[in-house]
Amino acid sequence: MTKSSFLPVLILFQSWTFAEDFQQIVNSQNPEDVVISPSDAMSKMVLPEGFKVTLFAAEPHVRQPIAFELDDRGRLWVAECYSYARQGYLENVHDRIIILEDLDADGRFDRQKVFWDSGYQLTGLAYGFGGIWALIEGRLLFFADKDGDDQPDGDPAVHLDGFNTKDTMHNIVNGMLWGPDGWLYGRHGIQGTSRVGPPGTPDEQRVPLNCSIWRYHPTLKKFEVVTHGTTNPWGLDYDEHGQMFFTNNVIGHLWHVIPGASYQRMYGQDFNPYAFGLIEQSADHYHWDSEKKWTDSRTAEGKHGELGGGHSHCGGMIYLGDNWPDQYRGRIFMGNTHGRRINQDRLERQGTSYAGKHEPDFMMANQPWFLGVEMEYGPDGAVYLSDWVDLGECHGRDGIHRTSGRIYRITYGDPKPVKMDVSKADDMTLLSLLKHKNEWFIRRARRLLQERAVSGNLTLEVAPALIRMLESEKDVRYRLRALWALHSIGKGNSELLLHLLDDKEEHLRAWAIKLLMEEENGSEEAATSFATLARSETSGLVRLHLASALQRLPFEKRWAIAAGLASHAEDADDRCQPLMIWYGIEPAILPSPKQALELARTSCIPLLRQYIARRLAAERK
């Protein structure tokens, strides 16, 4: 590694427009602690050979950037969170959403707009469906901007409420990401339990969650918990095969998102008291000395620094852009709060799931003010990195420096400028973008096709073209993109998905299972096909998805599938599969004790025998 090159920033006030300060911002940081300048901060950063960092924006034009999202034009929508405090929130302040735009494509912002400045407890945003989705004060809000004038069309629509807002801010609902399936995914920390539903939902009908990954469908208005457990997820992304991973703190930094999974918790009881066992992290290493107390890893000294810097992580980006060298493609990057650096892990298949393998730290800040929060690559493949800019750590024990914040831009060499408003592309152009090397275009093209289908403005040629792409392409990535797009526009019917259960590509079989389970309780045909596949399936990943599907099926349909999965002795010691099968059959045991005992008798997975006996014995006490 060498020190990165950096470009000085000349502030040309006469050519930029800025919003007036909308409130008096107070720092609780010791005034004797003088913040490092952007140029000095960049001069100290060390990146791999060939990379350089430039400044996209800094205070006073961006401050407290807790989250950001690139829109279809490549502009940055930034959530500025001034209400963050060590415990709870700072009262009598407002958070806001701003837009930063690079007009001349030189990698530096030229214009700032304020979209909304009356927020409170703002912890995440996402762009799509004609406006902005934002997590504000324990609610999921949608700000429509149908005319595209960068101002809300009116008061926001409240889609969900009930997210806990009474506990420490870094441990509650945060962040959002559009998944390949057309759902909006988010995260939630451990220190506050929420009960979520649309406004007016009775308490007994609300969905409970704390440390978890959740999702919400923007048009079907459905809310679900995807996974339970860990501590405080604060990063989420997915790879080229649509497999999601999230970053976490304290008890492990990387986890594969398996729908229905119950992961190890920092403390407390899983919502299911009969889970018995919890799934361990996907990473095969820690970024701190785990032989010592995690509370001792709040500095990057000694072995903590050698292993990665500390236990706290923010952000999670799987790089799928087209600027960085191919060796970085598919790796996951995350900010290490205590280590003042960017960690990277290599994702490899292991057993039925994945393992995160340690790679050298990607960036070293080499100064105490760096707090990397979010990363995202743009249309030219460059990576935007937000910096909270503060001393101490996420708990803010030494005070909070609210008047600072930066967004850096990390490139390999000098990428060619890309200026394109993807939303202006016609349907056939959007289809062609599904084969782009840069995933930035792919994700927006798919979402726009979904939006047009919902509004009734999608041309009739799109669905047949996607079916041809699914059937004729040899690259499994292109076929997956076609499948996801078909599902998003409502054309991925069960007949097509059932046919894909026999496909030669494991990732298509896995996704066919997952999408078939979008139907409430699944179909009779799906359950029958799953039972057959469970015995013959050679792919561990597909068997894992079959086990995940159990929880979405009626009890009586689970046993044949579970029996098939339990016949695979090669999964007996797998980190995930025995527990995923268990989570699927546990609630069906008491209604069907004879079938449970028969599964215990025939199972090639010892853990299932043990847990079935334990569950039946617990009921007799």
Residue 274 has pLDDT above 80, yes or no: yes
What's the distance, CA 471 to chain centroid?
29
The per-residue pLDDT for 468 is 98
Strands 262-265 and 223-230: parallel
Count of residues in the chain: 621
Confidence of residue 365 (pLDDT cuts 50, 70, 90): very high
Confidence of residue 15 (pLDDT cuts 50, 70, 90): very low
Residue 20 has pLDDT above 60, yes or no: no
Question: Which pair of structure tokens corresponds to residue 604?
Answer: 């090639």
Closest to 253 measured CA to CA, from 151, 337, 168 = 337
Residue 295 has pLDDT above 50, yes or no: yes
d(CA 477, CA 32): 53
The per-residue pLDDT for 84 is 86
The per-residue pLDDT for 4 is 55
Question: If you search the block for the tokens 């743009």, which residue do you land on?
Answer: 378
d(CA 280, CA 265): 9
Report the half-sphere exposure of 314 (CA within 13 A, side-chain side): 25
Separation in Å, CA 451 to CA 141, 236, 420, 427, 447 = 18, 23, 19, 11, 6
The per-residue pLDDT for 6 is 47
Question: Which pair of structure tokens corresponds to residue 194?
Answer: 């929420």
Please indicate whether residue 396 or residue 486 has the higher confidence score (pLDDT): 486
Confidence of residue 12 (pLDDT cuts 50, 70, 90): very low
CATH T-level fold of 2-412: Neuraminidase (2.120.10)
d(CA 175, CA 146): 23
Residue 8 has pLDDT above 80, yes or no: no
- The segment with the largest mean pLDDT, out of 392-401, 496-505, 521-530, is 496-505
The per-residue pLDDT for 399 is 84
- Angle (deg, nearest 10), helices 439-455 and 476-488: 30
The per-residue pLDDT for 373 is 96
Confidence of residue 531 (pLDDT cuts 50, 70, 90): very high
Closest to 411 measured CA to CA, from 487, 478, 485, 328 = 328
Q: Could you give the percent of the chain with pLDDT greater than 90?
A: 85
What is the mean pLDDT of the segment spanning 225-235? 97
What is the mean pLDDT of the segment spanning 324-329? 98
The domain locations on the chain are 2-412, 493-620
Question: If you search the block for the tokens 């087209």, which residue do you land on?
Answer: 322
471 CB-near residues (< 8 Å, 6+ apart): none
Q: Each residue of 492-511: pLDDT tens digit?
A: 999 999 999 999 999 999 99
d(CA 519, CA 177): 22
In the three-class reduction of DSSP (H, G, I as helix; E, B as strand; rest coil), residue 214 is classed as strand
Confidence of residue 18 (pLDDT cuts 50, 70, 90): very low
3-state secondary structure 552-576: HCCHHHHHHHHHHHHCCHHHCCCCC
Confidence of residue 89 (pLDDT cuts 50, 70, 90): low
The per-residue pLDDT for 28 is 87
Confidence of residue 302 (pLDDT cuts 50, 70, 90): confident
The per-residue pLDDT for 299 is 81
Residue 114 has pLDDT above 60, yes or no: yes
Separation in Å, CA 338 to CA 144, 365, 512 = 38, 11, 41
258 CB-near residues (< 8 Å, 6+ apart): 227, 279, 353, 544, 548, 576, 580
Separation in Å, CA 363 to CA 107, 198, 333, 413 = 19, 42, 10, 16
Please indicate whether residue 288 or residue 576 has the higher confidence score (pLDDT): 576
- List, in sequence order, every residue forming a beta bridge with 132; answer none if it has no partner: 127, 143
Confidence of residue 228 (pLDDT cuts 50, 70, 90): very high
The per-residue pLDDT for 167 is 64
In the three-class reduction of DSSP (H, G, I as helix; E, B as strand; rest coil), residue 157 is classed as strand
The per-residue pLDDT for 621 is 58
Fill in the DSSP letter of residue 252: -
Question: Which pair of structure tokens corresponds to residue 187?
Answer: 């995260």
Burial tier of 110 (Cβ tally within 10 Å: 0-12, 13-18, 19+): middle
Residue 129, Ramachandran bin (φ over 0: left; ψ between -120 and 50: alpha; else beta) = left
Q: Kindly report the average pLDDT of the chain as a whole number.
A: 93
Closest to 192 measured CA to CA, from 138, 148, 126 = 138
The per-residue pLDDT for 13 is 29
Residue 490 has pLDDT above 70, yes or no: yes
- List, in sequence order, every residue forming a beta bridge with 89; answer none if it has no partner: 84
Q: Each residue of 155-202: pLDDT tens digit?
A: 999 999 999 987 666 678 999 999 999 999 999 999 889 999 999 999
